[in-house]
Amino acid sequence: MATYLAARLGHGVLVTLAVLSVAFVLLHLAGDPTYLLVPVGASPEEIQNIRHQLGLDQPLWKQYVNYMKRALRGDLGTSLRYNQPVLGLVLERFPATMKLTAVALAVMLIVAVPLGVVSAVKRNSAFDQIATGLALLGQSMPTFWFGIVLILVFGVSLRWFPTSGSEGWRALVLPGVTLGGYTAGLTTRMVRSCLIEVLGQDYIRTARAKGLAERMVLYKHALRNAALPVVTIVGYQLSTLIGGALVTEQIFGYPGMARLAVQAINNRDFPVVQAFVVVAAVTVLVINLVVDLMYVLLDPRITYE
């Protein structure tokens, strides 16, 4: 296990360096941000002085080398707009995004697991058809459209929940449902298909032949063996939720790190965007590692020796 963890950590470092490199190149292709920082009517000398102070007058390869040297020391640069260390700006909003992601994950599991289980047990029934239709509907609705509908119905018309901000648990309901709606549909279908496959195995028929109660067969034997692919897809959906927060936080005015990244893109604040990409990439790497370790808990036959 220790060897496996060391290998995964080394792989994570390489992936982080690759993400830093790709983000640096792509963002610098967007143009020079100097003109966003100088006043209107600034002279060429003033513009050149700003570019020199920011190091933007250096060759691209030199900017890259200097950036990577600072990144290895934990310094991802200073925001061009806020004049603050970008890592601190992103990490300051990181808990808000993780809170929203946790609510969306809870919505996804509360909806997907019961619907998937009942659909698999009552295969081809009216309930199964309705649940499958709802799952497909959830996957088909664009996140931005679903969020606007929730705002109009539950925020504007009924006034049950606030439509923006992050104060209190009520402010998390609409963005959490919006963010978890799409992933709930996919996870429902995954739970259903995995459980149907497991319920057709020989050991399930043997357990039933021994006279075990159907509840025992379902929860003790079937669900545990169907959990491995479901855990995989849930881990993947967590990564999707972090990416989907870019749209959801913007719609609801939620003060998370994804909204900060969107604002930085509009302002061409390259260091903030790079810091967001790095933090998001590291978060996804940690999620994937936790999912791999959960396999051992779910199935003792799996080892990482």
**How much is the pLDDT for 290?**
80
**How far is residue 152's CA from residue 252's CA, in Å, rounded to a whole number?**
12
Between CA 284 and CA 235 the distance in angstroms is 9
Is residue 23 located within the same domain as residue 154?
A: no
Q: For the chain, how many residues are written?
A: 305
Euclidean distance between CA atoms 113 and 192, whole angstroms = 9
The reported pTM is 0.76
- Asked which of 43, 72, 101 is the last residue of a domain, the reply is 72
Same domain, 34 and 179: no
Cβ atoms of 262 and 243 closer than 8 Å? no
Q: What is the pLDDT of residue 57?
A: 72
Identify whether 39 is part of a domain. yes
> Which of these three, 72, 106, 122, is where a domain ends?
72
CATH number at residue 207: 1.10.3720.10
| One domain, residues 56 and 108 | no
Residue 16 · residue 278 · CB < 8 Å = yes
Give me the pLDDT at residue 303, please: 63
Q: Indicate whether 168 and 252 sit together in one domain.
A: yes
- 105 and 66 housed in the same domain: no
Sequential pLDDT tens for the chain (305 residues): 667 677 777 787 888 888 888 877 776 666 666 666 666 666 777 777 777 776 777 777 787 888 788 888 877 777 877 778 888 888 888 888 888 888 888 888 888 888 888 888 888 788 878 888 888 887 777 878 888 888 888 888 888 888 777 677 788 888 888 888 878 888 888 888 888 887 777 777 777 787 777 777 777 777 777 777 777 777 777 777 777 777 888 888 888 888 888 888 777 777 888 888 888 888 888 888 787 777 766 666 666 55
Q: Is residue 104 located within the same domain as residue 159?
A: yes
* CA angle at 186 for the pair 180 and 192, rounded to the nearest 5°: 125
State how far the Cα of 119 lies from the Cα of 194, in Å rounded to an integer.
11
Domains: count for the chain = 2
Query: Both 162 and 43 in a single domain?
Result: no
β partners of residue 194: none
Query: What pLDDT score was predicted for residue 30?
Result: 63
Q: Provide the domain limits for residue 7.
A: 2-72
Structure tokens belonging to residue 28: 């610098």
Output the pLDDT for position 270.
76
